[in-house]
């Protein structure tokens, strides 16, 4: 039609939204940039401390020690078996490590845009690279935590077993879900900075509702709520913690296999697809506030 100008291939009209396929291709072409940014952030996050990134390990280990002292020792007689049978320390350790990892990824996503405004205003690149870099940074940090988890399983009586080969699959699903959450918090915080102040309280509530310290079945079995245990699958944090325990602990007996795996896949896909769609909705706005 006369008077209409078609933009050259590869360019997006001002204020337009890129096609998903093109956007993902552009983001993939920036993968080296994302890895370098993540590596730099990982090295810099504890530079002002004496122990540096050793705090990535110290924080969850101290939490495990404190919670084990309170719930595994002081309250063990009053509450009975909280989960994990004779290996409560392994049960607790996996819960703390996995929940802390998800919390760090999603919380770091909240700063992905607002913490890199100078970079956004200086360079042209798909903005999803920034929350992706925060995820990569946390994956790097979890590598050392995984060594501690395996060691914890070994010394707590679990030993090394073939079911552990399922953990990489579980970790992939955990990371996919957390990345979806990071994309959501990245946009939410760009619009309302107060989100970063609310997140710690949300995660504190989630900590106590997701079976980190206890197996929820210990409290609902034999009650009128027993037939509604399927409702636990609607809590993705509970799902992924149970998935990690199922793959790392030979003594752990989840009541909802194979539904745990099915729920883990569904949550990962839904979170990642929704997170990307939601994040892209404000792509043209990032850095202009």
At 64 the pLDDT is 84
Tell me if residue 10 falls in helix, strand or coil: coil
Rounded to 10 degrees, what is the CA torsion of 100, 104, 105, 111? 170
What is the average per-residue pLDDT within 147-157?
Answer: 84
At 83 the pLDDT is 65
Rounded to 10 degrees, what is the CA torsion of 147, 150, 154, 159? -140
Average pLDDT value over all residues in the chain: 84
* Whether 27 contacts 132, CB under 8 Å: yes
**Cβ neighbours around 262 below 10 Å, total:** 13
At 1 the pLDDT is 46
Q: Is the pLDDT of residue 29 over 70?
A: yes
Q: What is the pLDDT of residues 40-90, one digit of tens each?
A: 888 887 676 666 667 777 887 888 889 888 877 776 644 456 666 678 888
Q: Is the pLDDT of residue 209 over 80?
A: yes
Q: What is the pLDDT of residues 226-260, one digit of tens each?
A: 667 788 889 999 999 999 998 898 877 766 667 88
């Amino acid at each position: 039609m006369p008077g209409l100008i078609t933009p050259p291939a590869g360019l997006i009209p001002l204020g337009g939204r890129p096609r998903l396929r093109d956007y993902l291709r552009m983001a993939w072409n920036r993968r080296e940039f994302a890895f370098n940014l993540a590596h730099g952030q990982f090295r810099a996050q504890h530079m002002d401390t004496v122990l540096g990134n050793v705090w990535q390990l110290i924080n969850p280990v101290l939490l495990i020690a404190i919670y084990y002292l309170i719930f595994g020792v002081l309250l063990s007689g009053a509450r009975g078996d909280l989960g994990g049978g004779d290996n409560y320390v392994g049960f607790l350790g996996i819960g703390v490590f996995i929940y802390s990892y998800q919390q760090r990824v999603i919380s770091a996503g909240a700063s992905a845009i607002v913490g890199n405004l100078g970079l956004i205003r200086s360079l042209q690149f798909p903005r999803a690279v920034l929350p992706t870099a925060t995820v990569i940074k946390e994956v790097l940090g979890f590598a050392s935590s995984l060594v501690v988890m395996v060691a914890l399983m070994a010394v707590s009586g679990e030993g090394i077993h073939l079911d552990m080969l399922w953990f990489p699959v579980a970790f992939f699903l955990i990371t996919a879900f957390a990345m979806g959450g990071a994309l959501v918090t990245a946009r939410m915080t760009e619009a309302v900075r107060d989100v970063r102040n609310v997140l710690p309280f949300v995660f504190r509530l989630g900590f106590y509702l997701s079976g980190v310290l206890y197996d929820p079945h210990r409290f609902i079995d034999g009650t009128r709520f027993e037939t509604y245990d399927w409702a636990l699958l609607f809590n993705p944090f509970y799902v992924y913690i149970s998935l990690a325990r199922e793959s790392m602990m030979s003594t752990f007996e989840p009541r909802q296999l194979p539904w745990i795996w099915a729920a883990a896949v569904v949550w990962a896909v839904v979170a990642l697809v929704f997170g990307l769609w939601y994040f892209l909705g404000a792509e043209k706005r990032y850095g202009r506030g």
